Chains A and B, each alone.
Chain A
Amino acid sequence: MSREQYQDRLSELRTEVVLLAELVLERYEAAVEAAEAGDIRQADQIVRQDDEINRWYLELEGECIDLIARHQPVASDLRLITASFKIITDLERIGDLATNLAGRTEYDAGIHPAVDIRSLGMTAAEMADTAVEAYERDDADACRTVAADDDALDSDCEATTEAIIRDLITERAASDATKSADDGVAERADSPAAVEKTTRGLLTVRDIERVGDHAVNIAARTLYMLDNNEALLY
């Protein structure tokens, strides 16, 4: 294969990784919307489409290895290929998290009143989007932005988790008060439905926080590819 064809394959690889990212993020955003709206039909569709992402992921992985084996790339070419190899793993995991969110969607009901799923979910999506753009356009500054945004997302997620727990404590206090007033006949907030709602809220926050972590991984790999700088890598 000529030098030119090799360069074509490298830029083709980058394009394909970006296309996979676009598909994954589209699915993830649709999952956030489905979970918010309680749209079961859309959620089912997302779950069914995960296989397509998985296939594509393994194909791209094969392409990365084939490129290394045939062309013994060095320096920045090698870093582009290894970055791509690692980034597609993160994209595949974001696809899995979209499937998780979709699987937790309840008919006609939101996730939990304390969880602003749109705000948290879309913040994570934007971070992933910025990280992929940084990879596409060799933008080192954007990589650092993603890392900084993740600190904000983590603290929003932590605040939401605490709000879910606080909700439980408040509900308990309220039901205790009712109970003593009614001489013990009132129901406490300990129905299976209350536990399920809380768990669903906690798991949703956890999954969104993980999407943010994967966005940071993508940004970190991109920065390593650009500057041989491992500052964000761990």
Chain B
Amino acid sequence: MPRNEYQAELSDLREDVVGMSETVADRLAQGLTALETGDETLAQEVIDGDDEINQLYLDLEKQCTDLIALQQPVAGDLRFIAASFKIITDLERIADLATNLGEYAVAADEDPFPGIDIQGLGEITLEMLADSMAAYADEDRELCYAVNDRDDELDAECEIASDTVVRELIEGEKQMDDDEIEGFMEDVSRLLLTVRDLERVGDHTVNIAARALYMIDNNDELIY
């Protein structure tokens, strides 16, 4: 294969990985909207769309191993392909978490704590995802560190949200019979799972940023 065709394949890979991240970001945004509006049709679309992402993921994985095997890339190119190979795993996991949000939206009856700002947390994760992918696509090392710092903020916000739920459970005045308690506990568990899943989305974007930094500078400080 001529050299310029190889270069074209590398830039195709970059575009395809970025394309996958855009689809995943759409699913995440839709999952959040479904939670906010209780739109079960939208929620079901997110759940059903997961197969498409999974196929995309396996196709991209093959693109990566073919490039490594057939072109025997070295140094920077090899780190770029290895980074792409890892990043698609994180994207696929983020799509799984978006699917979880869709499932919670289908199962939810009522929002037990409207004071918890799920949409605000979701907004942060969407920005982190976009930034981590921009760091990868544009080889922007500053952005890698920015995503890592932002994750501390997200973790703190998630902790505050969980603590608020716990505190309100302790302080709540509402008297409930046993049936009400059952339903209420399911709503509370689902809310805590939602917070946990968003925090995990943040972790995956940090993985992406960490891989991008390793690709750019051979610097592994964010990898663990």
Do A and B make up one complex?
A: yes
The residues of A that contact B192 with a CB separation of less than 8 Å are 161, 202
Contact with B along A176-199 (1 / 0, CB 8 A): 000000000000111000110011
B69 touches A69 (CB 8 A): yes
B188 touches A165 (CB 8 A): yes
- Choose from B54, B69, B163, B189 the contact partner of A233 (Cβ within 8 Å): B54
A199 touches B224 (CB 8 A): no
Contact with B along A44-68 (1 / 0, CB 8 A): 0000001100100010010001001
The residues of A that contact B150 with a CB separation of less than 8 Å are none
B189 touches A158 (CB 8 A): yes
CA distance A94 to B167 in the complex (A): 30
- Choose from B69, B73, B96, B159 the contact partner of A72 (Cβ within 8 Å): B69
CA distance A161 to B185 in the complex (A): 10
CA distance A70 to B224 in the complex (A): 27
Given A96-B224, A165-B169, A195-B167, do A78 and B189 touch, yes or no (CB 8 Å)?
no
- Choose from A50, A68, A89, A206 the contact partner of B65 (Cβ within 8 Å): A68
A165 touches B82 (CB 8 A): no
The residues of A that contact B44 with a CB separation of less than 8 Å are none
B122: min CB distance to chain A, Å? 19
- Choose from A58, A158, A202 the contact partner of B220 (Cβ within 8 Å): A58
Given A162-B189, A169-B181, do A65 and B78 touch, yes or no (CB 8 Å)?
yes
- Kindly state whether residue B70 has any CB partner on chain A within 8 Å: yes
- Kindly state whether residue A168 has any CB partner on chain B within 8 Å: yes
A199 touches B170 (CB 8 A): no
CA distance A4 to B69 in the complex (A): 19
Give the bracket for the number of chain A residues in contact with chain B. Answer: 35 or more
Q: Which of B12-20, B21-29, B85-93, B131-139 contacts A (4 or more CB under 8 A)?
A: B85-93
CA distance A168 to B192 in the complex (A): 15
B170 touches A194 (CB 8 A): yes
The residues of B that contact A85 with a CB separation of less than 8 Å are 85
- Choose from A51, A70, A82 the contact partner of B61 (Cβ within 8 Å): A82
Contact with A along B150-193 (1 / 0, CB 8 A): 00000000010011001101111000000001000100110010
A78 touches B159 (CB 8 A): no
- Choose from A70, A82, A165, A199 the contact partner of B159 (Cβ within 8 Å): A199
B89 touches A199 (CB 8 A): no
- Choose from B69, B96, B166, B185 the contact partner of A198 (Cβ within 8 Å): B166
Interface residues of B (CB under 8 A from A): 50, 54, 58, 61, 65, 68-70, 72-74, 78, 82, 85-86, 89, 92, 96, 159, 162-163, 166-167, 169-172, 181, 185, 188-189, 192, 196, 220, 223-224
Supply 9 further A-B pairs (C-beta < 8 A) apart from A61-B82, A68-B69, A74-B69: A68-B65, A68-B68, A72-B72, A78-B69, A82-B65, A162-B185, A189-B170, A190-B167, A195-B170
